[in-house]
Amino acid sequence: MGTRASDRSRQEVARALLVFGEELDAIEANRLSTVLTINEPANDLLVNDPWGFLCGVICDYQMPADRAWATPYNLSQRLGGWSVELVASRPMEVRRAFLGPPAIHRFPNQTSGFVIDGARRVIDSYDGDASNVWADEPTARDLQRRLIEFKGISQKKAAMAVEILYAQLGVPIREMEGSDIAYDVHVRRVMLRSGLAERDDVAHMVEVARALHPERPGALDLPMWEIGRTWCHKSAPDCDSCVIAQSCPRLVSAADGVRGA
Ligand code: SF4
Q: Quick one: pLDDT at residue 225?
A: 93
CA 140 to chain CA centroid, nearest Å: 14
Atom of ligand 1 nearest to the CA of 250: 7
Query: 108 alpha carbon to ligand 1 midpoint, in Å?
Result: 35
Atom of ligand 1 nearest to the CA of 242: 4
Of all protein residues, the one whose alpha carbon is nearest to atom 7 of ligand 1 is: 250
Going from the C-alpha of 189 to that of each of 18, 61, 84, 194, 219, the distances in angstroms are: 17, 18, 37, 8, 17
Residue 111 scores a pLDDT above 60: yes
DSSP designation for 168: I
Give the chain's mean pLDDT. Answer: 93
230 lines ligand 1 (CB under 6 A): no
232 lines ligand 1 (CB under 6 A): yes
Query: 210 alpha carbon to ligand 1 midpoint, in Å?
Result: 21
Mean pLDDT of 230-257: 95
Report pLDDT digits (tens) over 11-26: 999 999 999 999 988 8
Mean pLDDT of 156-174: 93
DSSP designation for 246: T
Report pLDDT digits (tens) over 28-76: 777 656 778 888 999 999 999 999 999 999 999 888 888 899 999 999 9
> To the nearest whole percent, how much of the chain has pLDDT over 70?
96
Question: Please, are residues 183 and 206 in contact by the beta-carbon 8 Å criterion?
Answer: yes
Set out the domains of the chain in order of their start, with CATH numbers. Answer: 7-29+179-255 (1.10.1670.10), 40-177 (1.10.340.30)
Cis bond before residue 223 (omega within 30° of 0): no
Q: Quick one: pLDDT at residue 135?
A: 96
227 lines ligand 1 (CB under 6 A): yes
pTM for this predicted structure: 0.86
Query: 197 alpha carbon to ligand 1 midpoint, in Å?
Result: 14
Mean pLDDT of 232-257: 95
27 lines ligand 1 (CB under 6 A): no
Query: In the beta sheet, which residues pair with residue 139?
Result: 174
Atom of ligand 1 nearest to the CA of 248: 8
Q: Quick one: pLDDT at residue 222?
A: 92
What is the radius of gyration, based on Cα positions, of the chain? Answer: 19
Of all protein residues, the one whose alpha carbon is nearest to atom 2 of ligand 1 is: 239
